[in-house]
Amino acid sequence: MSKNRFWFNPSNEGIEPPKQATTGSAGIDLRADLKEPVRLYPGAIEMIATGVYSSFNNDVVVMVCSRSGLASKGIAVANAPGIVDSDYRGEIKVLLINHSADQVVINPNERIAQMVPVSIRVDDFDIIMGNPEATETERGAGGFGSTGVE
């Protein structure tokens, strides 16, 4: 098995490479690879380049997640978590959405999201045609708040 890798090849000067904010951080911060600031209007979605490319094994997926500091201001990854499949070789881009009532400016080199590499085991699952024969649980088929909101 080859080593999982990320390449950093920004199209703009002054963009810092991805890195963990602290040694205990689960995510690796992604920065906006922009020449100029981008205005993100309320309700708008913008695709932001990062200058990051990947190559990793089939048992790894990367989740692109919102940063809590931006999310607290209403800025989030639109398709959170965004999924980067192991066979994708293009630039990792981030779909940001502005959930706030205010216009927000995304600046070049700003930390906009975090990527979290995760080991997966899709070969551990079987697809079975027909009616489910799952074991019974206390919850059963209840969902969407069926266990309460407190």
- Could you report the per-residue pLDDT of 14-66, keeping only the tens digit for each? 999 999 999 999 999 999 999 999 999 999 999 999 999 998 888 889 999 99
Q: What's the average model confidence in pLDDT over 117-128?
A: 81
**Where does the pLDDT of residue 149 fall: very low under 50, low under 70, confident under 90, or very high at 90 and above?**
low
Q: Which pTM does this prediction carry?
A: 0.83
Both structure tokens of 102: 């205010």
Q: What's the average model confidence in pLDDT over 68-76?
A: 95
Please give the C-alpha separations between residue 147 and each of 134, 137, 144, in angstroms, as whole numbers: 19, 13, 8
Half-sphere exposure of 68 (CA within 13 A, CB side): 4
Q: Where are the domains of the chain?
A: 5-122
Q: Residue 105: is its pLDDT beyond 60?
A: yes
Model pLDDT, residue 93: 97
Q: What's the average model confidence in pLDDT over 88-92?
A: 94
Q: Is 36 helix (H, G, I), strand (E, B) or coil?
A: coil
Residues 56, 47 contacting (CB under 8 angstroms): no
81 upstream amide cis, omega within 30 of 0 = yes
Q: How far apart are CA 10 and CA 87, in angstroms?
A: 21
Note the CATH number of domain 5-122.
Answer: 2.70.40.10
Q: What are phi and psi of 29, to 5 degrees?
A: -65, 135
If you ran DSSP here, which 8-state letter would residue 108 be given? T
Model pLDDT, residue 71: 95
